[in-house]
Chains A and B, each alone.
Chain A
Amino acid sequence: MMRPRLVDGARLQYDDVREEHVLLIPEGAVRLNDTAAQVLELCDGRTLDEIAAVLSERYQGADVTDDVRELVDTMGERGLVIDGAA
Chain B
Amino acid sequence: MRPGAVALLVALAGPAAAQTAPEDAARFGPETGPGALVVRGTTDVALFAPLLDAFVASLPGIAVAYEQWGSNDLNAVTLAGCRGEGTPADLVVSSAVDLQVKLVNDGCAHPHSSLMTVALPPSAAWRDELFGVTEEPAVIVYNRDLVPPDEAPRSRFDLIDLLRPDDSRYAGRVATYDIEESGLGYLFAFADSQQATTFGSLIEAFARSRAIATCCSAEIIQGVAEGRYLIAYNVLGSYALDRAQEDPRLAVVAPEDYTLVLSRAAMIPRGAPNPTGAGLLIDFMLSDEGRAALAAQHLLVEDGGHLLPDDDISLYRPIALSPTLLLGLDQQKRETFLARWRATFSQP
Partners in one complex: no
